[in-house]
Amino acid sequence: MFKRFIFDLVFLVAAMLFFHKPGICAEPVSVNARPNKVTVGALFNGASVTVSGMIPARSEAVVTVTGRQQDLPLKTKGRALGFLWMNLGSVNFHHVPSLYVVNTPQCFEPSENVGSGEGAGVGFALLKAQAEITPTPEDPGDKALLFQEFLKLKEGEGLYAVNSGTVHYGETKDGMRRFETDVHIPARVAPGEYEVKVEAFNKGHVTDAATQHIEVEEVGAPALLSSLSFKHGGVYGLLAVLVAIGAGLLMDFFFSGQGGAH
C-alpha cells in the first residue's frame, strides 16, 4: 500500500512538471545603455544614449529614463481685478522626477487597466497618477489643469518627453528579439544618477522588466562653478559680483563711445 502511494506521488509530480507551461515572465529581459556616463562641459548641448537589449518575441519594448524624485514649487498666474495678469499664489508638485523620457514602438497601446494600480502605467498618465499637488485643489478639473501646465513647462525645458515610434526591432532568435532606441539627454539635465528601464508588454500588460543606471557628471568649468557654489559659497558670491561688475564696465566702455559720437 505504501509503495503504491509513493508511486502515485512520483507520477503526479512528474506529470505536473511535464505539462507545466511557463509564463511569459519566465523569459528574461535584458537592457544595455551606452555610453553609461554622460559628461557635461561648458559647451554641452545634450547627448544621445543608445539603449538596446532583448525581449520575448511576442512582446513590445517600452524604454523609460527617469531622474530622482523631487518636490517642485511653482507659481500660479491668473487675472486679478479682471485685467491684471500676475502671480496669484504657489503650488507644490510632489513625487515628480527631474527627468522623464519615454520611448515607445510604433502604434503602441497599453491596456486600459495599465496605470490603475500603484507602480503601473506608461507615459504622462503614470506621472499624473503618482504626482501630488498641495494645496490640494477642490475641483479635480483644477488638478488636471495644473498638471497640464506643469507638463508644458517640463516639455518646454526638454526634461519631459514621450516619443512614439522610436523603438525599433532587430532579429528574432530562440523566442527572443532585439530592440534598440536612442534616448535624448537634454542640455538642462542635472548631474546625478538616472535609471534606464525597459518593460516588456504583452497584450498591453507588463510581463517583465530590466533596469540599468547611467551617470551624468559635470566636468571643466561647470564642475568648478558647482563646487564653488556648494563648498565655498563666499568665494562663489564674490566671483559672481566681480563678473557682473566686469560685464558692466565692458558694456559701458563699448557703448559710451557710441553715445558720445552723436
Tell me: the pLDDT tens digits for 175-231?
999 999 999 999 999 999 999 999 999 988 899 999 999 999 998 665 555 554 555
Q: What is the dihedral of CA 29, 166, 123, 57, to 10 degrees?
A: -30
Q: Answer yes or no: is 147 within a domain.
A: yes
Q: Is 196 within a domain? A: yes
**Is residue 25 predicted with pLDDT exceeding 50?**
no
Q: Which of 122, 105, 101 is nearest to 113 (CA)?
A: 122
Confidence at residue 84, expressed as pLDDT on a 0 to 100 scale: 45
Q: How far apart are CA 88 and CA 77, in angstroms?
A: 5
Question: pTM to 2 decimals?
Answer: 0.72
Q: Report the number of distinct structural domains present in the chain.
A: 1
For residue 117, pLDDT over 90 is answered with: no
The answer to whether position 243 is within a domain reads no
3-state helix, strand and coil shares in percent for the chain, rounded to the nearest 5: 35, 40, 25
Range of the domain at 67: 19-214
- Decide if 259 is inside a domain: no
Of 134 and 255, the one with more pLDDT: 134
34-91 pLDDT, tens digit each: 999 999 988 899 999 999 999 999 999 999 999 999 999 987 655 544 544 445 578 8
In a domain, 43, yes or no: yes
Q: What is the DSSP letter of 122?
A: -
Which class for 69: exposed (0-12), middle (13-18), buried (19 or more C-beta within 10 A)? exposed
123-177: pLDDT as tens digits: 898 888 888 999 888 777 888 888 999 999 999 999 999 999 999 999 999 999 9
- Predicted pLDDT at 101: 97
